[in-house]
Amino acid sequence: MTNVLVCVKRVPDSTGEVVLTEDGSRVDGRYGGYTTSAHEECAVEIASQVAASGDGGGTVTVLTSFHKELTTAYQKAFEAQNPGIKIEILNKNTTAAIAYVRELGEGQRPD
């Protein structure tokens, strides 16, 4: 069984108006939405292919800071499209996500 870990980050949604902070140094997230980039979408697709290519029954673990309300719909859509692959979504902020990966013991880490 092949297990794959994918980190999916949030990026500002560039389809709408992008508003900068007063000093112009960064995007003001209060006025725009967030989405995933094509890189994350490709990473999840490749992870599903890798998980399926093993002896079957692999798991794709998605580590993300997206809210659970958003990822639940994503999980259901993934499961419908990839019936032989288990998907696990871990909703953690960036600091907690890094700590999670570092703390995984030998043999517990995804392939």
How does pLDDT run across 27-66, given as a tens digit for each residue?
A: 777 777 777 888 888 888 888 888 888 676 788 888 888 8
For the question of whether the overall pTM of this predicted structure is more than 0.75, the answer is no
Q: Give the CA count within 13 Å in the CB-facing half-sphere of 49.
A: 6
Exposed, middle or buried: residue 64 (CB in 10 Å: 0-12, 13-18, 19+)?
buried
For the chain, give the mean pLDDT.
Answer: 81
- Phi, psi dihedrals of residue 4, rounded to the nearest 5°: -130, 135
Report helix, strand or coil for 48. Answer: helix
